[in-house]
Chain A
Amino acid sequence: MNATPGGADPALWLPEPWRIERVRRELSDTFTLELQPTAGGAPLRFLPGQFNMLYAFGLGEVPISISGDPEADGPLVHTIRAVGPVTEAMRRLVPGDVLGVRGPFGSCWPVSGAEAEGCDLVIVAGGVGLAPLRPAILHVLRHRQRFGQVCIFYGARTPADILYRHELRRWRGQFDLLVDVTVDRATQDWAGRVGVVPRLVEGGGYDPQHTLALVCGPEIMMRHTARALLARGVRRERIHVSMERNMKCAVGLCGHCQFGPHFVCRDGPVFRFDVIEALMTVDGL
């Protein structure tokens, strides 16, 4: 009755229905959805690196990063890899189908802040980890003059697993970007690099002292990449990684995504490496 908490959000749990406009098959198990709100209305404002909770009717809700251009008024874009029942069901969706959307949630890649101004940028992605970085890359391309060197290092399991292949090629063609792609296992038609991504950061003509690094991929890949970046002299607090933990509420009250003292949904998913470095070395945290 007294001192009751304020600020209850009546829509906290309610996904809003968004309609699928386009489906793009990216890879055998990965696809991109473009969505518009069924009720019409404004596009979703978000920051690069943030995510939404996507709800498939009656099936479940999953956290998925936003992969579109944060500054374009286009559709809401999500790139999803089908790995389990909910994402599998999403793979079967066709234009016209409806998904529930809650969001956006979480922290962002610090590409628009002062700390990025004038820096070299090293963007490192593994597998579907390129999807959460895409908005950051699009932002950088839009404001290219604000940054120094920009390197994009990308690793996939096999050549067939390379996400956003055409876009990567386009970026690679741009004179002011360094785009380097590697695969774990080559196939016959692959003439590019073979090896793990962390090796790529050893190259590239960026200036470690003035570099901001954004890393997204499997946890072990991020650990190794960070180590390689540190070895080159990139400062701890200028490396950012995006964490994954089980998520149910996305607003810091279900407890699932705790990572040490952090809620990945609220304090993350993007963390400064120095903040979580110690935690990342603990098994089972």
Chain B
Amino acid sequence: MQRLSLAGLAVLLHVLWADRREIIGPRLRDGAITLGILHRLEDLPVGWSDTAQEAAQYRVVPRADSARFGHVTGPLSWKRWLFLPEEVLFRAVRDDQDGGFTLSATPTAPLRAFLGVRGCDLAAIAIQDRIFAHDPAYCARREATLIIAINCLEPGGTCFCASMETGPQARGAFDLRLTEWLDAGTPSYLVESGSAAGRKLLARLPIEACTPEDQARVEQALAQAATRMGRQLDTGGLAERLAARPGHRHWQQVAARCLSCANCTLVCPTCFCSTIEDRTDLSGTTAERVRRWDSCFDLEHSYIVGGNVRADPAARYRQWLLHKLAYWHTQFGTSGCTGCGRCITWCPVGIDLTVEAAAVAGSEA
């Protein structure tokens, strides 16, 4: 572990820019800490926090210090730069002579760095890596992305990464990992590398040595943070209990409140459903296939000739929760939930996954 001063953080950004990487990181926009392209150092949300999240409730508030990463997960997740909200998968041109057609796909993969990826989101990226393991465009973008993670010392009101074992320490496939440490309101950054690329990068930064005490303080703070989660989810036997209760009356009770608006699925960093639209230009000679984010809350999602499998919104909520917390284990060997809390915060009517899951898991019928 080493230390990077605030000026050193600036060097990090400049080095990345010098490498022609687009830096995606936290920015204050429209009353939220969203993710976006950082053009200058000041784009970081200096002295802003959003940790006081609640179900259907999000506000940014000023902090007393000048922390850059003194917030948690906002409305956007990193998936929009890897699994794009909308993407052309191929274009096709009809050949006039023989009625056939020629297809071409040109996935673009700009060089990028993600700055400030938290434990929950790092886990989410790992999950999507597995889902999209064969998707050429995803893999190309993933390949071109450098990940700079950040440890969480101040969890938010809807966070429960500790329950899901994805945080508050960022673990897994990062290139660099930072911990923002405030001394009298001024931040500096403890930094570790997690890959060869990370080590190379680190070598170009003005790092300072850091003491065993520093290290101990971070570990202690992380342990502390784990006890301050706004939410928790008892995962013991959860998947089995949920899967065994597709007929539970609670599904209908949630459906009475649920808007089937799909916000929960779209903010979730692991949700991967997509739909396909094939279309042509007006002359009919060129066609393209577009993939865009879809959701199991959409009626059309379950359409087959003769009817929609999940016409009842209760069935759609059940699909979401069961997929996330039960079926995902069978499909990908992990939970589909990383405990980031977004689906709780951004559900307009405050439906809380931890509460609903506990309600179904907690009683038989």
Question: Which residues of A come within 8 Å of B, CB atoms?
Answer: 1-10, 12-15, 17, 19, 38, 55, 57-61, 83-84, 96-98, 100, 244-246, 248-249, 251-256, 258, 260-263, 282-285
Chain A residues contacting B274 (CB-CB under 8 Å) are 248-249, 253-255
Q: Closest residue to A266 on the B side, CB-wise?
A: B331
Within the complex, which residue of B143, B305, B326 is in contact with A261, where a contact is CB–CB below 8 Å?
Answer: B326
CA distance A5 to B280 in the complex (A): 33
Task: Give B293-326 as 1s and 0s: 1 = Cβ < 8 Å from A's Cβ atoms.
Answer: 0101000011111000111101100110011001
* Contact of A57 with B92 at beta-carbon distance under 8 Å, contacts A253-B135, A255-B272, A255-B273 already known: yes
Beta-carbon contact of B136 and A9 below 8 Å: yes
**Chain B's nearest CB lies how many Å from the CB of A157?**
14
CA distance A120 to B139 in the complex (A): 47
Beta-carbon contact of B309 and A1 below 8 Å: no
Within the complex, which residue of A55, A258, A282 is in contact with B278, where a contact is CB–CB below 8 Å?
Answer: A55
Q: Closest residue to A81 on the B side, CB-wise?
A: B305
Beta-carbon contact of B173 and A254 below 8 Å: no
**B:9-62 near A, CB below 8 Å:** none
Chain B residues contacting A10 (CB-CB under 8 Å) are 105, 136
22 A–B contact pairs at CB < 8 A? Answer: A4-B139, A13-B89, A15-B103, A17-B101, A57-B94, A59-B278, A98-B98, A98-B99, A98-B100, A100-B92, A246-B302, A253-B274, A255-B272, A255-B273, A255-B301, A260-B243, A261-B330, A282-B246, A283-B315, A284-B312, A284-B315, A285-B309
Q: Closest residue to A62 on the B side, CB-wise?
A: B305
Chain B residues contacting A262 (CB-CB under 8 Å) are 330
CA distance A284 to B304 in the complex (A): 12
Beta-carbon contact of A13 and B100 below 8 Å: no
**Extra A-B contacts (12), CB below 8 Å, given A8-B136, A258-B296:** A1-B145, A5-B130, A10-B136, A14-B105, A58-B287, A59-B278, A98-B98, A249-B276, A251-B134, A255-B273, A261-B329, A261-B331
Taking the complex as formed, is B146 at the interface, i.e. its CB lies under 8 A from any CB of chain A? Answer: yes
CA distance A98 to B140 in the complex (A): 30
Beta-carbon contact of A7 and B134 below 8 Å: yes
Taking the complex as formed, is B75 at the interface, i.e. its CB lies under 8 A from any CB of chain A? Answer: no
Q: Which of B191-199, B210-218, B224-232 contacts A (4 or more CB under 8 A)?
A: B191-199
Majority secondary structure, B binding face? mixed
Taking the complex as formed, is B327 at the interface, i.e. its CB lies under 8 A from any CB of chain A? Answer: yes
Chain A residues contacting B100 (CB-CB under 8 Å) are 17, 19, 38, 98
Taking the complex as formed, is B202 at the interface, i.e. its CB lies under 8 A from any CB of chain A? Answer: no
Beta-carbon contact of A4 and B142 below 8 Å: yes
**Chain A's nearest CB lies how many Å from the CB of B245?**
10
Within the complex, which residue of B99, B275, B319 is in contact with A254, where a contact is CB–CB below 8 Å?
Answer: B275
How many residues on chain B are close to A (CB under 8 Å)? 72
Number of A-B contacts (CB under 8 A): 166
Q: Closest residue to B193 on the A side, CB-wise?
A: A2
Within the complex, which residue of A1, A13, A254 is in contact with B147, where a contact is CB–CB below 8 Å?
Answer: A1
CA distance A249 to B274 in the complex (A): 9
Beta-carbon contact of B139 and A84 below 8 Å: no
Beta-carbon contact of A58 and B278 below 8 Å: yes
* Contact of A3 with B101 at beta-carbon distance under 8 Å, contacts A57-B94, A284-B309 already known: no
Within the complex, which residue of A58, A246, A263 is in contact with B331, where a contact is CB–CB below 8 Å?
Answer: A263
Taking the complex as formed, is B133 at the interface, i.e. its CB lies under 8 A from any CB of chain A? Answer: yes
Chain A residues contacting B319 (CB-CB under 8 Å) are 258, 285
Beta-carbon contact of A58 and B279 below 8 Å: yes
**Chain B's nearest CB lies how many Å from the CB of A267?**
9
**B:130-184 near A, CB below 8 Å:** 130-136, 138-140, 142-143, 145-147, 172-173, 175
- Of B139, B194, B310, the most chain A CB neighbours within 10 A belong to B139
Q: Closest residue to B315 on the A side, CB-wise?
A: A284
**Chain A's nearest CB lies how many Å from the CB of B223?**
26
Chain A residues contacting B294 (CB-CB under 8 Å) are 254-256
Taking the complex as formed, is B90 at the interface, i.e. its CB lies under 8 A from any CB of chain A? Answer: yes
Beta-carbon contact of A256 and B302 below 8 Å: yes
Chain A residues contacting B291 (CB-CB under 8 Å) are 254
* Contact of A84 with B147 at beta-carbon distance under 8 Å, contacts A2-B196, A13-B289, A255-B272 already known: no
Q: Closest residue to B274 on the A side, CB-wise?
A: A254
CA distance A121 to B173 in the complex (A): 50
Taking the complex as formed, is B284 at the interface, i.e. its CB lies under 8 A from any CB of chain A? Answer: yes
Within the complex, which residue of B130, B140, B305 is in contact with A84, where a contact is CB–CB below 8 Å?
Answer: B305
Within the complex, which residue of B101, B247, B323 is in contact with A57, where a contact is CB–CB below 8 Å?
Answer: B101
CA distance A282 to B304 in the complex (A): 17
4 residue pairs, one from A and one from B, having the closest CB atoms:
A284-B315, A2-B195, A255-B273, A58-B287
Beta-carbon contact of A61 and B310 below 8 Å: no
Beta-carbon contact of B99 and A96 below 8 Å: yes
Chain B residues contacting A19 (CB-CB under 8 Å) are 100
CA distance A96 to B100 in the complex (A): 9
Chain A residues contacting B278 (CB-CB under 8 Å) are 55, 58-61
Chain A residues contacting B65 (CB-CB under 8 Å) are none
Beta-carbon contact of A57 and B327 below 8 Å: no
Q: Closest residue to A258 on the B side, CB-wise?
A: B323
CA distance A1 to B101 in the complex (A): 36
Beta-carbon contact of B103 and A14 below 8 Å: yes
Beta-carbon contact of A258 and B136 below 8 Å: no
Beta-carbon contact of B276 and A61 below 8 Å: yes
Chain A residues contacting B309 (CB-CB under 8 Å) are 245-246, 284-285
Taking the complex as formed, is B356 at the interface, i.e. its CB lies under 8 A from any CB of chain A? Answer: no
* Contact of A5 with B311 at beta-carbon distance under 8 Å, contacts A38-B100, A98-B101 already known: no
Chain B residues contacting A7 (CB-CB under 8 Å) are 133-134
**B:86-128 near A, CB below 8 Å:** 89-90, 92, 94, 98-101, 103, 105, 126
**Chain B's nearest CB lies how many Å from the CB of A208?**
30
**Chain B's nearest CB lies how many Å from the CB of A93?**
10
Q: Closest residue to B244 on the A side, CB-wise?
A: A278
Chain B residues contacting A263 (CB-CB under 8 Å) are 331
